[in-house]
Amino acid sequence: MRHLSDRIERATGRRPVGYAPMSGGCIAQVHRVSMPGGGFLVAKVGTSAGNLDTEAYMLGLLKERSALPVPGVVHAEPDLLLIEFVEGSSRFSPRAQRHAADLLADLHGRPGERFGLERDTRIGSLPQPNRPNERWTEFFRDLRLLHMADESARAGAISPVARRRIDALARRIGEVIDEPEYPSLLHGDVWSGNVLAAGDRVTAFLDPAVYYGHAEIELAFITLFSTFGPPFFERYACSRPIRPGFFETRCHVYNLYPLLVHARLFGGNYGSRVEDTLEAIGF
Spell out the SS3 assignment of 110-175: CECCCEECCCCEEECCEEECCCCECCHHHHHHHHHHHHHHHHHHHCCCCCHHHHHHHHHHHHCHHH
Verify whether residue 189 is a known catalytic residue.
yes
Q: Does the reported pTM lie above 0.85? A: yes
What average pLDDT score do residues 69-83 get?
96
pLDDT tens track for 194-217? 999 999 999 999 999 999 999 999
pLDDT at 247: 97
CB atoms within 10 A of CB 155: 12
Q: How confident is the model at residue 26 (pLDDT cuts 50, 70, 90)?
A: low
* Residue 68 reports pLDDT greater than 80: yes
94-280 has the same fold as 2-84? no
pLDDT at 51: 87
pLDDT tens track for 219-271? 999 999 999 999 999 999 999 999 999 999 999 999 999 999 999 999 989 99
Q: How far is CA 129 from CA 106, 122, 172, 182, 223, in A?
A: 25, 8, 22, 20, 24
CATH of 94-280, one of 3.90.1200.10, 3.40.50.800, 2.70.50.60, 3.40.50.620: 3.90.1200.10
What residue ranges do the domains of the chain occupy? 2-84, 94-280
Q: What is the CATH number of domain 2-84?
A: 3.30.200.20
pLDDT at 24: 65
Out of 106, 189, 200, 207, pick the active-site residue.
189
Mean pLDDT score of the chain, rounded to an integer?
95
Residue 60, classified by CB atoms within 10 Å of its CB into exposed (0-12), middle (13-18) or buried (19+), is middle
Tell me how far apart the alpha carbons of residues 123 and 23 are, in angstroms, rounded to a whole number: 17
SS3 assignment for 197-230: EECCEEEEECCCCCEEECHHHHHHHHHHCCCCCH
How far, rounded to the nearest angstrom, does the alpha carbon of residue 273 sit from its chain's CA centroid?
Answer: 19
* Residue 50 reports pLDDT greater than 70: no
pLDDT at 12: 96
Tell me how far apart the alpha carbons of residues 29 and 126 are, in angstroms, rounded to a whole number: 17
Are 162 and 275 spatial neighbours (Cβ–Cβ below 8 Å)? yes
pLDDT at 23: 80
pLDDT at 1: 82
